[in-house]
Structure 1
């Protein structure tokens, strides 16, 4: 972190005579209520049907040198009434960004997103998943990094050095959405002898040409997905132990735009777990009906196929042979009202995961979000068996400042 500290010193000491300085302070505070219609499946889980929490995320940005330099600080805090692990703080971003004509760089803690599909962010591997936030795995922890991007006519080449591994967050032993067994946060093992101090590396090439957006990447380092290994303590109590392996992962994300069609693909091949090298992919389309019923609203129809060929010696996934169907409604009104609803259908076990996301701005500073998941027809012997009673609806009211 010495480079980051130096960037702060330089950022505030040197640019005072430079033009284009500005300081922004913004963010949000949110009240959230998560409702579980059914009682808990396991006797050691909290059986509360209503679980409130409070979220605070301020954002500070300082720019100088004609806005070619920027320091960003985004801390995050959640206080949850029922899940001790969900009560947590994180630094989502604390970084220095510098831009030149044909390159830019980020030093510090930051977030990077790779991917194009809707149902499962398969190739997004730089940042660790903040799983206590939501089971959809879309929330990420901040990752220490050195990132250099070379901006050329033939594409962008991005180099990442990632020092300092972040373990995945999991719900507490007695919390809802924890799965079939408690996950031991104190018994974690690594393949690397450096454990969480192993330095990871990533390289990505991206380019846009015609209607295509293409990304090719390779990652080497500690897997963001742990293998969960069951074990019993001296009293016979079962729990999962986390094991983080070193992996090589090569991936492709591609999107083609033509008229109302978006064709999407994410694919990867990975080696390094105790199992064999495997291939996984998510591909499909989004077709948009513009101005439905002679209104300003647009309706997008989505379909994606999910395949994952990993074996039993790799981190388990329920998405081996699944189909996602969904719809996205954008009213294009002054309140930015949007609704996304979908279902993931398991082709083998006929399990179904329904999801809904609704968002609407109530005023210039107030925003309403509704999110939910429904676990239906869950196989009592499958990977999702621990979640069959944990269907939920979440309502969040955010005040932006």
Structure 2
């Protein structure tokens, strides 16, 4: 269940919004969880917009990976695509000028990432012990993070530049052993600084997309980027459907770690997208049921590992929506950080009732 309640006044220039979330899992107890996605006040005063409370913010333009998006923590219990986010306590201000929109964010509390336990799938081969979680700052969760962003659109170009300082939303997993000599992973959250750039150019039927970051952290400084295009063929069917062709190249200069033993992943904050190619097709039916299908594949140009993605949805009548999501891994190399997930294909059929 994901209810949203909103109350607005002064012509909608000020409003309160609450969005909750709750899931009950009948098989795996750990996946029964609840969260407040939004509980915020928003006030618009001419060119100034103020926000206070729990909020979700998304930055980025690429399809396969979201490098610059860093405000919110991922809800790893909800889905495997890393596109569901926890609400983030923050205070923000955005000021719009003819030179673009300047935004500032103050985040007084950090939300750590949850991990699968027990019989959850997908899962790591080694237990993650959150009770031993480490923070680089002595303030732990109460360390203050902050961010700045400038965004503008100039004709066909949308450009965003951001700076973030605070806890990494991705913990490093440190290998340790418990009192029984069994291996365990200890999450550690490092303080980082990150500069990000996202760019999209709309040239008729062609979209050019780019995201790039440079991050400074205690382990190593590195850069990563994703760039590509989406080209849309309009009216490819008698019903007026559109077909989009997508291609992106993904690069991360950290490369891949080396597994300590078969079945055990490398315990450093490396990315699976260090030298990868994403290709896909997007079908938009342009029909009354809003039929949409996205299918794609990510090929690791180094290890030759492959991952396939499927997302499809359409409305059923006025209140129902049915959707299908799939993630499939094939030929995952032992040198790949995704090796522990090599046997964990994922398929989800969802029926949503909106009222």
**Aligned partner (choices 124, 127, 144) of residue 72 of structure 2:** 127
* Alignment correspondent of 2:353: 399
Verify the 8 A CA contact 1:180 1:385 in the aligned structure 2. Answer: no
Deviation for aligned residue 1:130? 0.7
SS in 1 for 2:102: strand
Mapping for residues 252-401 of structure 1, pairs under 5 Å: 252-275=197-220, 277-310=221-254, 315-401=269-355
Is 1:206 matched up with 2:151? yes
Question: 2:161 pairs with 208, 216, 224, which one?
Answer: 216
1:86 aligns with 2:40: no
Report the alpha carbon displacement of residue 274 of structure 1 after superposing the two structures with TM. Answer: 1.8
Moved over 4 A (4+): 311-314
Any conservation in 2 of the 1:112–1:127 contact (CA below 8 Å)? yes
Does the aligned pair in 1 maintain the 2:14–2:44 contact within 8 Å?
yes
1 or 2 for the larger relative contact order (CA 8 Å, sep ≥6)?
A: 1
Contact 2:239 2:287 in 1 (8 A): no
Q: Name the structure 1 match of 2:103.
A: 158
Q: Which residue of 1 aligns with 2:57?
A: 112
Q: Which runs of 5+ in 2 are unaligned?
A: 258-266
Measure, in 2, the Cα distance between the counterparts of 1:239 and 1:384: 18
- What is the rounded CA distance, in whole Å, between the counterparts of 1:303 and 1:232 in structure 2? 43
- TM-score after normalising by structure 1: 0.84
Contact 2:173 2:268 (8 Å CA) reproduced: no
Secondary structure at 2:302 match in 1: coil
Q: What is the root-mean-square deviation in Å for CA atoms of aligned residues?
A: 1.2
Aligned counterpart for 1:240 among listed residues 179, 185, 188 = 185
Shift of 1:230: 1.3
SS at match of 1:62: strand
What TM-score, normalized to structure 2? Answer: 0.95
Runs of at least 5 residues in structure 1 that lack an aligned partner in the other structure: 1-55
Partners of 1:83 and 1:171 within 8 A in 2: no
Counterpart-to-counterpart distance in 2, 1:256 and 1:295: 28
What secondary structure, in the 3-state scheme, does the structure 2 residue paired with 1:80 have? coil
In the alignment of these two chains, the number of paired residues is 345
Contact 1:248–1:272 under 8 Å retained in 2: yes
1:46 corresponds in structure 2 to none
Residue 85 of structure 1, CA deviation = 2.5
> SS at the partner of 1:81?
coil
